[in-house]
Amino acid sequence: MHGFLSLPAQVIETDVAQYVDPRIGSVGLGRVFIGPCLPFGMAKPGPDCGVGNNPGWASMPAAVSGFSQTHVSGTGGGPKYGNILVRPFAGADQHRASESIDLGRYACEFQESGIKAEVTSASRTSFYRFIYPQGTKPYVEFDLSHFLGRNSVPKAREAQQFEDAKLRVLNDHEWSGYQTISGGWNNGAPYTVFFYAEQKTSADTLLLKVGISYVSEQQARANCLSDIPHWRFEEVFEHCVSEWESLLSRLPLPTEASDRVKRMYYTALYHMCLMPTEREDGTYDDYYAIWDTYRTSTPLLTLLAPERATAIARSLLTIYQRDGFMPDARSGNSNGRTQGGSNAEIVLCDALARGLDIDAELALEAMLKDATVAPLDDEAEGRGGLAEYNKYGYIPYIKNDGHRIARAGNRTIEYAFCDWAIAQVAKYVYEKKYNDSNVTTSPLKGGREGGLYQQYMDQSTRWKNLWRADYEHDGARGFIMPRNEKGEWLDNLPFGHSQNRPLTFPYTPDVSYEGPWYCKWWDCFMYEASSWEYSFAIPHDIPGLIEACGGPVAFEARLDTFFAHKYYNVANEPSFLTPLLYHYIGKPEKSQTLIRKIIEEHFNDQPNGLPGNDDGGAMSSWLACHLLGMYPLAGTNEWIKYPPMTDIHVRDTVNQPDAAPQAPYDYTLKFSLHGQTRRFYISYWPTVQDETIKWTIQRNLRWWHGSFSMNRKALEKGTRLCYQQPVDGQHITISDDELFCMVSRKVLREIRKHGRCTFDGAQWLVVGEERPYAKVHHFHLRSDEGAEMWVNDDLFTPYIVKMINNPMEIDWELSK
């Protein structure tokens, strides 16, 4: 079924770099970085189209603000970096007349100015060539106020914030300085990017080198001069391409693969090697996040570049020694955030299992720190809910005091996997220390490590403590489900924190993504997955999982249902291994057929060629593994092997969720859920005589749309807001007393007459009146629980146009 790696004898193809296309995954959900970069390079220069795009770049016709030197690739959540912007033009953003995106080089021409821009990269230095129209004086501007993820709300979650900057003019062709920014996706501490720049002009051409450093301006200058000690642009570009050629040619596809499959494969390997980022001291940053990459990227890198995999694993231990904890995610030299487990433990276990040279005893020490010491900030590092996990053997979602422990479900599952990894490393250390030849066939005896092995192997079965064996859903029996601190199973989960109107929603295994749209997405029972997905995500105990599901026959039927009924999420890491689980019941042919179908429907060699966020190369590495015909079992030295999928039929279009509404909609409803913006597109057709008012709704990037009806009686006298969710084309009729984004006419009359009202379980008082538009009058109200809302003074359609500080933890703004 699986075993040690043995690459088949084949003709080794050269010039594989020609197949890398940085555009793949740049459009849609992929969010890959399109600029030039060396493998794991610190300098990632590229165009920034405003401040809202994670990789900086956006497709034409978006305007370009300039070129910044730092970016991430494929990430979701809030943007990070976008530091030290240079622009070859003055003032306002400009538009591209054309552009080309190639391995090692980005180029474009600007409409307004006619300037042609090119950029390539060395390890820590960007190199620009700007060609100006004849008669135009060449110059560049530096903008140290620019960065990605700008938000007008101070210290907004996942937004970057300006802290400090300085520009030094050294002479007429040299500059240095720094920019200090805080926050971003990992809500990190302030980080400083130092830079040194020098230019050379001749006639209509300006050459500009920008060296960066996270140490000092002096180090930035040293980086610049050592990286590129000359002014030969083409030479730097050719060196960048040759570095990629040297790396990617180490793990070739069979030569019979089509050119389109080769473009998918070698670009996938390329994406996998953009992050993490090698810093000047040899450590690595931008683990973004290990929760995404430990499953496929980390093991595949041990084949492609074991020296890099070793350095990346060692860096985790250096971070532990410096900061006290290893990261689950890290960026800008700050740990944060944890998403599920303390997954650096899997990386270290994988490194040792695959023969990498790291300090095993230090690794065990760092792993035990995660497993035994609660961090001060469990979103930044370590294990949240650790005390409860060790007390009960699972993390209760609801504590006795009513408080919730965020992500209790997937944390319990992943902590069990991490405990298994601790056991394996303890065993490794024991064998090395005592050279006991019997430890592989009998329980470890004696020594601290032997006891640790048994303890953490026992703990690795704790996923079973959330396995509700008698729970049935869609023909399957047994699921990971929530419990409270008393051990009781929870069929309904609370949301919000209103004392006036405490609300719950039914939790079932098919509750998608984090939960219903109205939940605080970061604090749900599962993170980025349903129970259907996570109930298959037990990679360290698949035989135990098969038994829990009722044996091989029941397990096969359950897998069939999972894929046939679309519980599988191709864009989600917890489902990465699931298509291969047929191997474990002796049906590898079903896995291969299924994987081929998944790739052909959801991947291609076009800009929309990735079905989800690439997440620092995680999605790409999944694809690369399957095209190569080898899927790793993380934390082991094993691979599931099958024939390389070199004959994939590559389609011109792939199945992706819509990123924008497909029809004109009357309103855009912008929600801010725990600092995250989500949008709904709404059509609404009320007429005076209608008994019901029908809304159709589509939400971008989350795979659902639907419609629902509101009774006319509710519009007249309703007293509560509706928080239901129509999904998958479903139509629902809400209760006679509930309204969607509106108050009733009776409530509006109370506001007009008395300056107060009772609504949604709260007492509201008018605190002001506004007229944001010429003919629109809004009442501004505040509730006894501190929420604020603005109500449109229109008896026909009395919308709540804005809501903030809502105790249901939902803020929104409705715009035409």
Q: What is the pLDDT of residues 34-61, one digit of tens each?
A: 999 999 999 999 999 999 999 999 999 9
Q: How confident is the model at residue 682 (pLDDT cuts 50, 70, 90)?
A: low
Taking the C-alpha atoms of residue 516 and residue 538, their distance in angstroms, rounded to an integer, is 25
Taking the CB of residue 168, how many other CB atoms lie within 10 A of it? 11
Looking at residue 516, what is its pLDDT?
65
Mean pLDDT of 690-706: 55
Taking the C-alpha atoms of residue 337 and residue 332, their distance in angstroms, rounded to an integer, is 12
Mean pLDDT of 5-26: 74
Looking at residue 91, what is its pLDDT?
80
Mean pLDDT of 335-361: 95
- Statement: residue 806 has pLDDT above 70: yes
Q: How confident is the model at residue 811 (pLDDT cuts 50, 70, 90)?
A: confident
> How high is the mean pLDDT of the chain?
89
Predicted TM-score (pTM) above 0.75: yes
Residue pair 679/665 in contact by the 8 Å Cβ criterion: no
Q: What confidence tens digit (pLDDT) does each residue in 548-588 have?
A: 999 999 999 999 999 999 999 998 899 999 999 999 999 99
Q: How confident is the model at residue 802 (pLDDT cuts 50, 70, 90)?
A: confident
Looking at residue 34, what is its pLDDT?
98
Nearest Cα to 767, choosing from 781, 749, 778, 753?
Answer: 781
Looking at residue 477, what is its pLDDT?
98
Q: Looking at 120-129, 307-316, 427-436, 648-657, which range is the least confident one?
A: 648-657
- Statement: residue 2 has pLDDT above 60: no
Mean pLDDT of 202-209: 96
Query: Can you point out the beta strands (E) in 36-156?
Result: 46-48, 66-68, 85-87, 96-102, 105-110, 116-121, 125-131, 141-143
Q: Is the peptide bond before 469 cis (omega within 30 degrees of 0)?
A: no
Taking the CB of residue 815, how many other CB atoms lie within 10 A of it? 10
Q: What confidence tens digit (pLDDT) does each residue in 705-746 have?
A: 667 777 778 888 999 988 776 666 677 788 888 988 889 999
More reliable by pLDDT, 263 or 812: 263
Residue 531 CB partners (closer than 8 Å, separation 6+): 409, 479, 480, 481, 508, 509, 510, 511
Residue in the structure block whose two tokens are 């971008």? 700
Residue pair 361/429 in contact by the 8 Å Cβ criterion: yes
Q: Is the peptide bond before 276 cis (omega within 30 degrees of 0)?
A: yes
Q: Which element (helix H / strand E) includes 298? A: helix 297-304
Strands 174-183 and 160-169 turn out to be antiparallel
The 8-class DSSP code of residue 16 comes to G
Nearest Cα to 612, choosing from 657, 677, 662?
Answer: 657
Nearest Cα to 284, choosing from 256, 257, 260, 316?
Answer: 316
Looking at residue 102, what is its pLDDT?
98
Beta bridge partners of 799: 742
Mean pLDDT of 435-462: 75
Q: How confident is the model at residue 340 (pLDDT cuts 50, 70, 90)?
A: confident
Percent of the chain at pLDDT exceeding 70: 88
Beta bridge partners of 188: 183
More reliable by pLDDT, 679 or 647: 647
Q: Looking at 120-129, 229-238, 607-616, 646-655, which range is the least confident one?
A: 646-655
Looking at residue 155, what is its pLDDT?
80
Looking at residue 5, what is its pLDDT?
38
Residue 609 CB partners (closer than 8 Å, separation 6+): 24, 25, 30, 264, 603, 654
More reliable by pLDDT, 340 or 776: 340
Taking the C-alpha atoms of residue 103 and residue 20, their distance in angstroms, rounded to an integer, is 6
Mean pLDDT of 349-369: 98
Looking at residue 144, what is its pLDDT?
98
- Statement: residue 771 has pLDDT above 90: no
Taking the C-alpha atoms of residue 79 and residue 635, their distance in angstroms, rounded to an integer, is 30
Q: How confident is the model at residue 652 (pLDDT cuts 50, 70, 90)?
A: confident
Taking the C-alpha atoms of residue 349 and residue 421, their distance in angstroms, rounded to an integer, is 6
Mean pLDDT of 413-439: 87
Taking the C-alpha atoms of residue 317 and residue 540, their distance in angstroms, rounded to an integer, is 23
Taking the CB of residue 729, how many other CB atoms lie within 10 A of it? 9
Task: Count CA atoms within 13 Å of residue 236 on its CB side.
Answer: 29
Beta bridge partners of 678: 671
Taking the C-alpha atoms of residue 657 and residue 597, their distance in angstroms, rounded to an integer, is 17
Q: How far is CA 91 from the centre of its chain?
A: 34
